[in-house]
Structures are given as C-alpha cells and as structure tokens.
Amino acid sequence: MAKTIFEELGGRYERQGDYLIPCLIVPVEEEQPIGAWGQRHLDYLKQYRKVTYTNLFTSGKLNAYLADIDRQAQERFERLIEGMKQAQGITECLKEENALEWTGRLNNIRDCAREIVNEEIIYV
C-alpha cells in the first residue's frame, strides 16, 4: 500500500476498530508567565484570529508568542506613561501639593496609555 503524504512527512496512524486515526501530538513548549496583556491578546486570538491561534498552538509556539506580546505591551505601556507624565508636567511635587489632582491626572494617563497599547499591540 502506498504511503500517504502524512506518512511521508513522518506521521503515523493508530488503528481504532475499523478506522485509522492519525497520531497527532502537540509539541511541548516551555512554560512562561503570561500577564494581563498576553491574556487579552489570547482572548482576541481565540475570538477573531482562530487560524493564527490554531497555528501557534499546534506548532508549540503559543506560550512564547504570548509572553513576548505581554513583554512588548508592558514596556510600551510604561514608556507611554513616562512620556505623558513629562509632557503634562506631572511630578512628585504635584503629588505632595495636591494628591487628588495627581491621582486623577495619572489615572487619565494610564487609561490613555492602555487604549494606545490595545490598539497598537493587543487587538491587531
């Protein structure tokens, strides 16, 4: 009997009753911690980019990919916050003088930075 393309590529079948079922094994990948940004991107992939999610999952690269996205997003988020703080003149002096205003302005900056990171990295 001639080999199938699957067998030629190194795959094998397992007989279960009258059927030959391909033996598919997902490669083991190194576990890396994934933060909030990576989890958001994972949800996005599962919902809107199913082919990309499946390809990354079956190739064993999903965890590393999500860890990298999480790292990039966190670095971008922190850079944006620092840049916006400098541009708006938010300093520790303002924190000492008027803590409530400082908190409000910093929360506004964080929200803006979160939206930018979501648009540039997470939901792409």
Model-level pTM greater than 0.75? yes
Residue of 114, 55, 119 lying closest to 84 (CA atoms): 114
pLDDT at 28: 77
For residue 68, name the pLDDT band (cuts at 50, 70, 90): very high
- Whole-number mean pLDDT of the chain? 92
Backbone angles phi and psi of 30, in degrees to 5 = -70, 130
